[in-house]
Structure 1
Amino acid sequence: MKSMLSQLYAKWMVSWETALTTRDTNRIVRPLEWGFDWLEGFDPDASNPNDLQRMIAANQDIVARSEEFFAYATPTDFRLEQRHPQLFPTNVRPETLAQDADWKHRASTGELPTEPFLRFTSPVRTPYPENDQVNARWYPCTPEQQAGKPKQAMIVMPQWNADAFSHNALCTLFNRFGISCLRLSKPYHDIRRPAELERSDYAVSANIGRTLSACRQAVVDIRSCIDWLQVQGYEQFGVLGTSLGSCYAFIAAAHDPRIDVCAFNHASTWFGDVVWTGQSTRHIRAAFEQANLTQSLVRELFLGVSPMAFMEKFAASPKRVLVVHATYDLTFLREFSLDVLKNFDLHHVDYVSKVLPCGHYTTGETPYKYIDGWYLGSFIYQSFKRLAQKVAT
């Protein structure tokens, strides 16, 4: 009986997950583009007429010189802006568009208060001026909330194609723990999204070089946010990333020892494997199949933005880590998340593993979003409490 119920539950969950990943109709199959113009200085085989071999060599060069690839000059134009929050939806479902219209109406009538946003010019430049203006909603704690301990801050990065309200509730939760938050808009997301796009397609696409560049920009933006926080007197830092955000957060933590706490909400080892097997990226896989690429080749083409390529670097500095994965995940397959845990064990990473009985998209549905929130919230609270006690002793 138990086995039968488990099978029925699994079937129901897969059906629900599939329905959620197929309800948006504005995914576009864009043709393969190598995008070497996005990788200036990291194209050691530029004279090779074989573009496939040339791009593989570029990825290997990025990994070998990752400290240079993710290097940056601290921005000089940090500023706080007060403005009305906007949704910036990435789908065209009627209920979402109605919600967007409601928020705009409330802002125009003065019913909606303004909120602070950290803005600065990204050290990584692209052809899109709006994308190069970094945007992070600022959730500062009061002096009373921070009293008696070091000033602590989290940088929160939601999932691919998240709207501008995604994960804001987590920031308000962390505020209750005396932890300030910057909810960072990823490259090509919400206010940073070029006007030509309905979705945040340029963050992950069949343009290889642009996808690598988007990760580079995201990592540098995270590190720049920490620079600003340090000027504000903050001493202890964490990152929380969901899905694509977890990839960016991992690589940032691997290259920046200031990051003490990491929460990876869905995680995988190889970027290319997720692109090839995930339901969310079927349209990108279609472009690669049209170009006669295989899963193993796609893995090599995204080596430079794969957490697995930086596992030793990540493990080199001590940090407290949470990994949340979902049993019925059809976007970050369970086997890839288990591979993360296996490699954490091999590299002696101090981590906590939590499992959700749902899928990738259903993590955002009731009741699973509350379970996930409990895992994330309790881990962040305990980890920063431990950091504060360590300083006190």
Structure 2
Amino acid sequence: MLSGLYAKWMYAWETALTTRDENRIERPLEWGFDRLPSVGGDEMAARVERGEISGLDAMIELNERIVANPEAYFSYTTPTDFRIEQHHPQLFPTNVRPETLEQEREWHRRAEVGELRKEPFLRFTSAVHTKYPENDTVNARWYEATPRPGKPKQAMIVMPQWNADAFSHNAFCEMFKWWGISSLRLSKPYHDARRPAELERSDYAVSANVGRTLEANRQAVADIRSCIDWLQSQGYEQIGVLGTSLGSCYAFLAAAMDARIQVCAFNHASTWFGDVVWEGQSTRHIRSAFEHSGLTQDLTRKILAGASPMSYMDRFAAHPKRALVVHATYDLTFPLEFSLDVLKNFKEHNIDFVSRVLPCGHYTTGEFPYKYMDGYFVGHFIWSSFKRLHERSA
């Protein structure tokens, strides 16, 4: 009885958190073929216009091409304009609640009167170019740790959740720094400093424009790998990634494509991108657009297969790495069955992983006391995994 009451309370709390922001916008379905030129998007657009193939079938075929040859799709050229810039931290909120806007104004005020110090940010031009210049300047706050004597230089690349503000996950970076592990807190495509001025939220990262959503995944992977290139140029030998929610998907894809990533922490995880879009509370406005266009869950899975961790499970398992999967029992954004599917596939592929369970939901992970439980799970895993890497390399 108590467990039933707890579940009811947790689901109500989770629902309240996922519905409090009223600036989610339902935009009409767009195929976005022009965002996928490397797999023949322009050719498909022309065929659709001539009536030779439907938009749906064309997008399914493009995803099949991506999955069949991910090395080509996720290939990139290392940027040549890496630089460290000093900037005042800004919040870049994605909601318009009065308390959040007041917090943003306070940070601006503190910067203007000299109460805030400038912090280092790694900046460079993304290897994947989009239609938005501000999105194509990669932004990553740099937390440089003092190297520990006798240890290799170690670093984490940290990617928060979808629609995170610019301060989300900074506490993880501070914790890693205290342990002698440097961090790049990477702004995902269309997030915070990279968000186009026309947006209140980071909607273009995941939207009813299918090609743009796939392009954002490709760009995120290229940006992570470019960050690794820079870290290695600075002498870093052992590198890991931490991703939460959408950041978890990006982290998985990068690790599947790049054997240099040796430690992976997935804070909420799922196998199929389209299933989360269809079933998750946070993406109900996108599902609505798809439903209005006649799509089903199965078709949504197919048109987003190229962005799905499940499509690259074999590649992820092909190179040694240690992984953490944190999932939440009452998750309404990454429903429990999808996270359990990740664990099932990790076992079947003999991946070295650790599973941890939170007695909360997706959004409530950021609330007391669950955020401290999550911080302990992630922090202990990162610390112990890098300790193991050091011992093996000694």
TM-score under structure 1 length normalisation? 0.98
Q: How do residues 282-293 of structure 1 correspond to structure 2 at under 5 angstroms?
A: 282-293=284-295
> Secondary structure of 1:252's match?
helix
* 1:20 paired to 2:24: no
Between the aligned residues of both structures, percent identity stands at 73
In 2: Cα distance, 1:313 partner to 1:43 partner = 23
Q: Deviations over 1:33-77 (max 9, x none)?
A: 000000003137722431100000000000111101111110000
1:41 partner SS: helix
Query: What is the SS of the residue equivalent to 2:38?
Result: coil
Amino acid of the residue matched to residue 180 of structure 1? Answer: S
1:309 to 311, 316, 319: 311
Distance in 2 (CA, whole Å) between partners of 1:118 and 1:130 is 15
Q: Tell me the residue number matched to 1:138.
A: 142
Q: Which residue does 2:220 correspond to in 1?
A: 218
Contact 1:43–1:54 (CA<8 Å) still a contact in 2?
no
CA distance in 2, matches of 1:101, 1:275: 33
What CA deviation, in whole Å up to 9, does each residue of 1:276-322 have, x standing for no partner?
A: 00000000000000001000000000000000000000000010000
8 Å contact kept, 1:326–1:359: yes
2:33 aligned partner: 36
Asked if structure 2 preserves the Cα contact closer than 8 Å seen for 1:43 and 1:55, the reply is no
What is the match of residue 271 of structure 2? 269
Displacement, 1:233? 0.3
Aligned length: 387
Residues 204-244 of structure 1 deviation map (CA, whole Å, 9 limit, x = unaligned): 00000000000000000000000000000000000000000
Provide the aligned C-alpha RMSD in A. Answer: 0.7
In 1, Cα distance between equivalents of 2:367 and 2:288: 28
Matched, 1:326 2:328: yes
Instruction: Write out the 4+ residue segments of structure 1 that deviate beyond 3 Å after TM superposition.
Output: none
* Equivalent in 80, 89, 95 of residue 93 of structure 2: 89
Range moving further from structure 2, 47-56 or 247-256: 47-56
Deviation at 1:177, TM superposition (A): 1.3
Unpaired runs of 5+ residues, structure 1, are none
244, 251, 269: which one aligns with 1:249:
251
Distance 2:27 2:39 in 1: 24
Shift of 1:176: 1.4
Question: Separation in 1 of the partners of 2:101 and 2:276?
Answer: 29
Q: Which amino acid aligns with 2:54?
A: N
Pairwise mapping of residues 1-393 of structure 1 onto structure 2 (< 5 A)? 4-43=1-40, 46=44, 47=47, 48-143=52-147, 146-392=148-394
CA distance in 1, matches of 2:351, 2:146: 33
Amino acid at match of 2:137: Q
Q: Secondary structure at the match of 2:266?
A: strand
State the shift of 1:358 in Å: 0.1
Q: In structure 1, how many angstroms separate the alpha carbons of the residues matched to 2:146 and 2:360?
A: 36
Tell me the amino acid that sits aligned with residue 92 of structure 1.
V
